[in-house]
Amino acid sequence: MDTTTISVSTALPRLDPTAVAARRRVVVTGGAGFLGSHLCEALLRRGDEVVCVDDLSTGRRENLDGFFGDPAFAFVQVDVSEPFVVDGEVDAVAHLASPASPPDYHRLPLETLAVGSRGTENALKLAVAHGARFVLASTSEVYGDPLVHPQTEDYWGNVNSVGPRSVYDEAKRFAEALAAAYARTEAADVGIVRIFNTYGPRMRPEDGRVVSSFVVQALNGDPLTIYGDGSQTRSFCYVDDLVRGLVAMLASAEPGPVNLGNPTERTVRELAELVLTITGSDSSVDHQPLPVDDPTRRRPDIGRADTALGWAPTVDAEEGLRRTVAWFAARPRAVAVAGSALAGPQAGGVPVTPPARQGDAARAS
Ligand SMILES: NC(=O)c1ccc[n+]([C@@H]2O[C@H](COP(=O)([O-])OP(=O)(O)OC[C@H]3O[C@@H](n4cnc5c(N)ncnc54)[C@H](O)[C@@H]3O)[C@@H](O)[C@H]2O)c1
């Protein structure tokens, strides 16, 4: 198998000496995606040099439009599931490459498993080769449909290893195992973060995540699609808060896992009502069957993030949603086009759940 060598300019623009001393060169895999592009932006703002590595499978070039003229930014279109190396110094690798929304990973099941396994190992090898810090973007999905609430990092999870969501959940669990093994056997400087639902500008309007779907449907005057009765809960973190946590993890020696998310828990029905209020929309609500293995409750315990990173979210849902709605409202064509993709059973043909599921009796109330 061929190895891609990524050669990018390492020339740094002139900075004052203190800034140069603190400056790092960070490889961001998945940097053209929703979170990755915000991470690239935050790193560039703090004076780092960024190499964004992305195959554009679920990310978009336009997410990077604001950085292309910056000499501290380089973009390389590469599938990280294939071997690759990056020339020059690398101080940190933030590994975010992976399909992340359910319609995306149902559409790309083998690619999702590949990037969680081979892609993670290639990114780990890159970090080890450069003696660089490695941060894995894992997910609250490693807790599956949790029997412990709120979820602490020492909870091992309740995941169906052969269900339709397993391509994502198990890929991330394997990625965590691989990162932990590299830390033990290769002395890799590894940090694992488990990201809970995050929302904000640059989410793809059609990608089927609950916040973007509700906002798009409300702006279009379409019914908001709620799966099940809407009593399932989620905790929604605004992207700026999340990225601050990622930057803190990159700068620390904390191995994790560390939960990053907003601990304010809401039902999906409450979220729908809040979106209707903020958009001023008179859309109705359309109930559809729950997808298979849809988690009933989600709320991070963020005690470890506070202790280890001094991190806590600061943007409340009303403010975060206002900023998100404003971003989508400024893109009426994309929002109108996305409308048809979001109607009916879950976008991407995600299988729906039968009435009783394994684990229902044991599920914590
Ligand atoms: N957004 C959330 O709420 C959330 C929650 C938990 C975990 N995460 C994790 O954070 C990361 C980023 O998620 P996101 O929401 O920005 O998703 P996204 O789909 O917007 O971004 C993922 C990026 O990875 C790229 N990518 C996928 N496979 C690749 C490959 N083989 N090689 C190179 N690039 C590849 C995509 O093109 C895309 O740009 C993912 O690893 C995801 O699992 C996100």
What is the mean pLDDT of the segment spanning 195-201? 97
Give the start-to-end residue ranges of the domains of the chain: 20-200+237-260, 210-233+264-298+315-342
Residues 121-138 have pLDDT tens digits of: 999 999 999 999 999 999
Q: Which of 146, 136, 126 is nearest to 171 (CA)?
A: 136
Residues 239-261 have pLDDT tens digits of: 999 999 999 999 999 999 999 99
Predicted local distance difference test score (pLDDT) of residue 8 = 55
Provide φ and ψ at 220, rounded to 5°. Answer: -85, -5
Residue nearest to atom 9 of ligand 1 (CA): 137
Distance 21 CA to ligand 1 centre (A): 31
Q: Which residue has the tokens 């709605």?
A: 325
Q: Which of 38, 42, 29 is nearest to 198 (CA)?
A: 38
Does 34 contact ligand 1 (Cβ within 6 A)? yes
Strands 265-267 and 198-199: unpaired
State the distance between the two ends of the chain, measured CA to CA, in whole angstroms.
50
Tell me what percent of the residues of the chain surpass a pLDDT of 70: 87
Residues 6+ apart with CB under 8 A from 271: 210, 211, 214, 234, 236, 317
Q: Which residue has the tokens 């404003």?
A: 326
Is the link from the previous residue into 150 a cis peptide, with omega within 30 of 0? yes
Q: Which residue has the tokens 């993030």?
A: 305
Higher pLDDT, 296 or 239: 239
Please answer whether residues 28 and 97 qualify as being in contact, where contact means their C-beta atoms are separated by less than 8 angstroms: no
Residue nearest to atom 29 of ligand 1 (CA): 97
CA atoms within 13 A on the CB side of 15: 17
Please answer whether residues 287 and 247 qualify as being in contact, where contact means their C-beta atoms are separated by less than 8 angstroms: no
Q: Is 227 a catalytic residue?
A: no
CATH class of the 20-200+237-260 domain in this structure:
alpha beta
Predicted local distance difference test score (pLDDT) of residue 291 = 81
Predicted local distance difference test score (pLDDT) of residue 68 = 95
**Ligand 1: nearest atom to the Cα of 202:** 20
Predicted local distance difference test score (pLDDT) of residue 281 = 96
Band (pLDDT 50/70/90 cuts) for residue 296 is: confident
Count other C-beta atoms under 10 Å from residue 3's C-beta. Answer: 9
Q: How far apart are CA 360 and CA 364, in angstroms?
A: 9
Does 271 contact ligand 1 (Cβ within 6 A)? no
Residues 6+ apart with CB under 8 A from 164: 106, 291, 292, 293, 350, 351
**In the beta sheet, which residues pair with residue 92?**
26, 133
What is the mean pLDDT of the segment spanning 305-321? 97
CATH class of the 210-233+264-298+315-342 domain in this structure:
alpha beta
CA separation (Å) from 1 to 61, 84, 129? 27, 10, 19
Distance 117 CA to ligand 1 centre (A): 14
Residue nearest to atom 17 of ligand 1 (CA): 100
Predicted local distance difference test score (pLDDT) of residue 345 = 55
Predicted local distance difference test score (pLDDT) of residue 13 = 31
Residues 113-172 have pLDDT tens digits of: 999 999 999 999 999 999 999 999 999 999 998 999 999 999 999 999 999 899 999 999
Residue nearest to atom 18 of ligand 1 (CA): 33
Distance 45 CA to ligand 1 centre (A): 21
359 pLDDT more than 70:
no
* Residue type present at position 20: V
Q: Which sign does the torsion angle of CA 265, 158, 81, 206 carry?
A: negative
200 pLDDT more than 90:
yes
188 pLDDT more than 90:
yes
Residues 13-46 have pLDDT tens digits of: 333 334 344 569 999 999 999 999 999 999 999 9
